Amino acid sequence: MDNVDVLIVGAGVVGLAIAARLSQQYSNVLLVDKNSTFGEETSSRNSEVIHAGIYYPQNSLKAKLCVRGKQLLYQYCQQRHIPHKKVGKLLVAHGKQEESYLAETLKQAKLNGVDDLVWQSKEQLQVSTPALAATAALLSPSTGIIDVHSYMQSLLADTEQNGALFVAQTRFVSATANKSGLEVVLDSQGETSTLQCQHVINCAGLYATEVATAIKDMPISEIPQLHYCRGHYFSYQGKSPFNQLIYPIPEANGLGIHASLNTAGQLKFGPDTQYIEDIDYQVAETLKRKFVTAISKYFPDIDSNKLIPDYAGIRPKLQGPNEGFKDFCIQTVKQHNVAGLINLFGIDSPGLTSSLAIAEYVEHLMTNEK
Ligand SMILES: Cc1cc2nc3c(=O)[nH]c(=O)nc-3n(C[C@H](O)[C@H](O)[C@H](O)COP(=O)(O)OP(=O)(O)OC[C@H]3O[C@@H](n4cnc5c(N)ncnc54)[C@H](O)[C@@H]3O)c2cc1C
């Protein structure tokens, strides 16, 4: 049986960031993914926004890892020439009630260490962003966009340069805890192998609870329920009327149907939120009416003929419909009593922004466990 120091299950942006980081310190790191290449699931089906860290409750992992992750990600993008732009974002209000939400958000952002938000009056917005309808807005200058595929490619290159191995089409099947860590069964295109791993990091995204359930000795009571929450996107043909990202006031389970740009300048709208039972990425044309209604509120001149169904992503959420805020859940031996195992559950937004900080955090947890 082969031995590895660290097995990372799942080569999304989080698994890749962890692999790139841990392979600097551990000599024998293996990253596996069940798909034919890296990043084919949630990591390539999102808004590609580098979030500022504005909304999350103070001291939550989401608040801390987003703010730290944003800083690390901008540095990384600069060093590695990853296409990205600090385009800024406008969080827009319509009327007094939403303006008080902006005022509260300003305070919350400060508590989270985001102290660069700027209040924009209706008059200022009319000059800077004439296509926008709003009575006021908060400008977040540190919000940006990133080409996630280039980012993931670069993390994989780092991982391999550090001597670690990425193996695609390899599924984690099960594991059993023993004195030296975990004995793991993998399936590579129908061929089964067994591996002795000192550490296993479960970064399987939408399948993280399935992976945890397949680990013998993992207490079922510690495995949270994941809810699939799909978000759809519509692209907008032609020139974008906005140079910044435009966000409405957040809704219960997401940030609201916002306008975002990719690094090539293409405008898209989304995501909305729809809880679903099974993994299914379809975008129904019939959603267009809902999108037009939501977008018209801040972009009254929208031409619905330019709105084309594009793609969908699925959030692995810990909160069910109408439940309150749930934080990232990163479990160590203290929670589940399986030495060597770290589970990452509920890594929805801002998981991309936080990825390098999550990697740093996981390394810290492993060092503290030694
Ligand atoms: C609609 C939407 C919009 C978002 N927008 C943003 C945003 O703008 N900014 C931001 O910061 N975050 C955003 N996010 C969140 C961000 O996309 C995720 O937090 C991030 O991509 C999670 O990465 P991951 O590596 O944990 O998961 P994933 O990308 O899902 O990767 C998990 C990997 O595990 C593999 N896997 C699963 N089971 C097994 C197994 N048994 N064996 C081997 N491999 C396995 C899968 O094949 C997959 O490749 C958004 C998410 C969604 C859904």
* Runs of H (alpha helix) within the chain: 13-25, 61-80, 96-111, 122-128, 148-161, 208-213, 288-296, 333-336, 351-369
User: Is the shortest distance between the CB of 211 and ligand 1 below 6 Å?
Assistant: yes
Question: What is the model's pLDDT at position 205?
Answer: 98
Q: Under a CB-based contact definition with an 8 Å cutoff, are residues 28 and 370 in contact? A: no
Please work out whether the CB of residue 34 comes within 6 Å of at least one atom of ligand 1: yes
Look up the pTM and report it. 0.98
pLDDT in tens, 159-218: 999 999 999 999 999 999 999 999 999 999 999 999 999 999 999 999 999 999 999 999
Tell me the pLDDT band of 99, cut-offs 50, 70 and 90. very high
Where along the chain do its domains lie?
A: 2-45+149-225+325-369, 86-144+226-317
pLDDT for residue 303: 96
DSSP code per residue over 113-182: T----EEEEHHHHHHH-TT---SEEEEETT-EEE-HHHHHHHHHHHHHHTT-EEESSEEEEEEEEETTEE
What integer best gives the mean pLDDT of the chain? 96
Residue 250 banded pLDDT, cuts 50, 70, 90: confident
Question: In this structure, are strands 170-178 and 181-188 parallel, antiparallel, or unpaired?
Answer: antiparallel
pLDDT of residue 255: 79
Q: Does the structure show a pLDDT above 80 at 254?
A: no
Probe ligand 1: pick from 9, 36, 46, 211, max atoms within 8 Å of CB? 46
Task: Work out the average pLDDT over 265-281.
Answer: 96
CB 336 within 8 A of CB 218: yes
- Residue-level pLDDT at 48: 97
pLDDT(322) > 90: no
Reported as a single tens digit per residue, the pLDDT across 55-72 is: 899 999 999 999 999 999
What burial letters (b/e) apply to 64-81, b meaning 16+ CB within 10 Å?
bbbbbbbebbbebbeeee
Confidence at residue 120, expressed as pLDDT on a 0 to 100 scale: 98
14 in ligand 1 pocket by Cβ < 6 Å? yes
- The pLDDT of residue 339 is above 80: yes
Domains 2-45+149-225+325-369 and 86-144+226-317 share a fold: no
Amino acid at 234: F
Residue 369 has a pLDDT of 78
Q: 205: CA distance to ligand 1 center in Å? A: 5
Identify whether the C-beta of residue 279 lies closer than 8 Å to the C-beta of residue 206: yes
Strands (E), 179-287: 181-188, 191-202, 215-216, 227-236, 245-247, 258-261, 267-270, 274-276
Separation of CA 304 from chain center:
29
Question: Could you tell me the distance, in angstroms and rounded to a whole number, from the CA of residue 139 to the centre of ligand 1?
Answer: 28
Instruction: For the domain made up of 2-45+149-225+325-369, give the CATH fold.
Output: FAD/NAD(P)-binding domain (3.50.50)
Distances (CA, A) of 31 to 95, 168, 284: 50, 8, 35
Mutate which of 42, 48, 173 to test ligand 1's pocket (most atoms within 8 Å of Cβ)? 42
Average pLDDT over residues 78-95: 97
CATH architecture observed for domain 86-144+226-317: 2-Layer Sandwich (3.30)
Residue 170 CB-density burial (10 A; 0-12 exposed, 13-18 middle, 19+ buried): buried
Residue 158 pLDDT > 90: yes
Quick: pLDDT tens for 17-50. Answer: 999 999 999 999 999 999 999 999 999 999 999 9
Decide: 233 and 262 in contact? Cβ < 8 Å: no
